[in-house]
Amino acid sequence: MRPAQSESMPTRPDPATPSSAIQPPATDPTLIFEHFRGSYGSELLTVAVAHFNLFGLLAAGPQSLTYLCHKLGLETRPANVLLTALQAMQLVERADNDRYAVTPLAREHLVPGAPFEVCDYVGLAANAPGVLEMAERLRSNRPAESGDDEGAAFIYREGIKSAMESTALARHFTLALAGRAKNVAPVLADRLSMDNVSRVLDIGGGTGIYSIALLQKHQHLSAVVLDRAEVLKVAAEMAQQYGVADRLELVAGDMFADPLPPDCQAVLLSNILHDWDVPQCQKLVHRAAQALPPGGRLWIHDVYLNDNLDGPLPIALYSAALFTLTEGRAYSQAEYRGWMHDAGLTTSAAIPTLVHCGVLTGTKPIRSSPNEPRR
C-alpha cells in the first residue's frame, strides 16, 4: 500500500525554480570513488606478477626506468602508471632518483622462488578479463575503445575517432562525468577568489557545471565554455536548468587548435589535463597562458600525485583508470607547476576542494614597462 504524502517526504523540484550548483553535498563521496577505483589495484598487481614478472626482474638489484621500459616492452607513460601504483602499495621503492627496487615485503612474497612467495596465488587472476585488458592497455599505450567502435570514449583530438562526436554517446559520457563534478563544483566556487575577474574561460568544460557554480556564486561574472559541439548541447540544457544561460557563452571548437575566446581574465582547466600526455598538457597550459592578460590567472583543478610519484594510493589507482580511458594519467603538483613556470606564470599554494581534487593558481606577471624582464 502506498504511504500517504507527508511533509517529511521529498517532493519534486519546481521546474520554474533554477537548480543550485553552489549547495555542496551533506556527505563527502570520496570513499565511494576510492572503492570504485579499487579494482585497478588488483589488476595492476596481477599484471606486474603474472604478465611482466616485474618483481623477479628487480630481484637482482635496482633498475632504471629506461631499463624497465626496455625489458617490459612499455613506453614511459604506462611504466609511470604501473610503478607509481606499486610504490603506493609499498611493493616498489626508489633506490635513488633514477632507479627502482623491490621492498622487503615484495622481496619476501612476490619474487618467484622466495620461501614465502605468493606469485601463483596472485596469478590465479591472470586471465581475468580486467587483468587481460589492463595488460593490453599497458603494452599498447592506448586508451580503451568506445563500445564496439575503434576510438576513444572520453576524449577528442584531431586524428582519433571519439565518442564525443556522437550525439548519444557524447550525452551519455558527459552526464556520467558530471556525476563527480556536481559534487565538487560548489566547493570550488566557494574557494576561488574572483577579485579582478569578470569573465572566465572554461576549457573542456563539459556540462559547464563548474562555470555554472561560479556564475551562481558571483553575480557579476560571465563565463565561456569551450568544448565539442555535441557536448555543448548538454551544457545548453544545464545553463537553462540552473538559470545562468544569459551569462554563459558556449563555444564549439578544438582546444588544441582553434583561437581561444578573448577578454577573459581567468582560464579554468578542471579535470582536463589528466586526459592528455605531457606534450599535450604543456601545449594547453601554454595556450591558456598566452590568452591571459597581465595579472590574469590560470586555474588547474585536478587530483595530484606526490611530487616523487609514489602515491598516494587512491590517486595512483585513479591514474590507472585515467590511463586506460584516455591518453593521460594523474600528475603531480611539481609537474603542473613546471608547465606553468615554463609558460611564464608564477604559482601559489594549492587549495583543496573535494574527492581528492585541489586547485593550483598560475598568475601572469604584470610588467611595469615593455623592457622589464619577466621574473
Kindly state the cell numbers that stand for 150.
575503434
Average pLDDT, integer, range 230-252: 97
Whether residues 124 and 52 fall in one domain = yes
Whole-number mean pLDDT of the chain?
90
Helix (H) or strand (E) holding 132: helix 129-140
Supply the CATH number for residue 99's domain: 1.10.10.10
Kindly state the cell numbers that stand for 352.
583543496
The pTM score is 0.88
Residue 150 lies in a domain: no
Residue 166 has a pLDDT of 67
Is the pLDDT assigned to residue 16 strictly greater than 90? no
Residue 156 has a pLDDT of 53
333-364: pLDDT as tens digits: 999 999 999 999 999 999 999 999 999 999 99
Contact 367, 374 (CB under 8 A): yes
SS3 206: coil
Residue 176 has a pLDDT of 86
Average pLDDT, integer, range 101-124: 98
Residue 165 lies in a domain: no
Residue 48 lies in a domain: yes
Residue 169 gets the label, from left (phi > 0), alpha (psi -120 to 50) or beta, of alpha
Whether residues 131 and 185 fall in one domain = no
Whether residues 129 and 229 fall in one domain = no
Residue 1 has a pLDDT of 38
Domain count, the chain: 2
DSSP secondary-structure letter at 230?
H
Q: Return the closest-CA partner of residue 201 out of 143, 149, 243, 250.
A: 250
Contact 59, 50 (CB under 8 A): no
Whether residues 190 and 300 fall in one domain = yes
SS3 312: coil
To which residue does cell 628487480 refer?
A: 58
Residue 14 has a pLDDT of 52
Residue 146 lies in a domain: no
* 129-140 and 39-46 helices, crossing angle to 10°: 70
Residue 165 has a pLDDT of 60
Is the pLDDT assigned to residue 91 strictly greater than 60? yes
Residue 182 has a pLDDT of 95
Question: What domain range includes position 131?
Answer: 30-141
Supply the CATH number for residue 192's domain: 3.40.50.150
Is the pLDDT assigned to residue 28 strictly greater than 60? yes
Average pLDDT, integer, range 96-118: 96
Q: Return the closest-CA partner of residue 75 out of 156, 139, 10, 169.
A: 139
Is the pLDDT assigned to residue 331 strictly greater than 50? yes
The percent of residues above 70 in pLDDT, for the chain, comes to: 87
Is the pLDDT assigned to residue 369 strictly greater than 50? no
115-162: pLDDT as tens digits: 999 999 999 999 999 999 999 999 999 987 644 444 444 555 555 555
Whether residues 135 and 195 fall in one domain = no
Confidence class for position 174, pLDDT limits 50, 70, 90: confident
269-287: pLDDT as tens digits: 999 999 999 999 999 999 9
> What amino acid positions are annotated as catalytic residues?
274
Residue 177 has a pLDDT of 85
Q: 3-state DSSP: the chain helix, strand, coil percent, rounded to 5?
A: 45, 15, 40
Whether residues 193 and 306 fall in one domain = yes
To which residue does cell 599505450 refer?
A: 141
Average pLDDT, integer, range 246-258: 97
Average pLDDT, integer, range 82-95: 97
Is the pLDDT assigned to residue 373 strictly greater than 80? no
The percent of residues above 90 in pLDDT, for the chain, comes to: 82
Residue 97 has a pLDDT of 76
Residue 269 lies in a domain: yes
Is the pLDDT assigned to residue 371 strictly greater than 70? no
Residue 244 has a pLDDT of 98
Query: Which pairs count as long-range contacts for 48-54, CB under 8 Å and 24+ apart, including other chains?
Result: 48/82, 48/86, 48/91, 49/110, 49/119, 49/122, 49/123, 50/119, 50/122, 50/123, 50/125, 50/126, 50/131, 51/126, 51/131, 51/135, 53/112, 54/82, 54/86, 54/92
Q: Return the closest-CA partner of residue 34 out of 313, 324, 274, 358.
A: 313
Is the pLDDT assigned to residue 7 strictly greater than 60? no
Is the pLDDT assigned to residue 82 strictly greater than 50? yes
CA 146 from chain centre, in angstroms, equals: 18
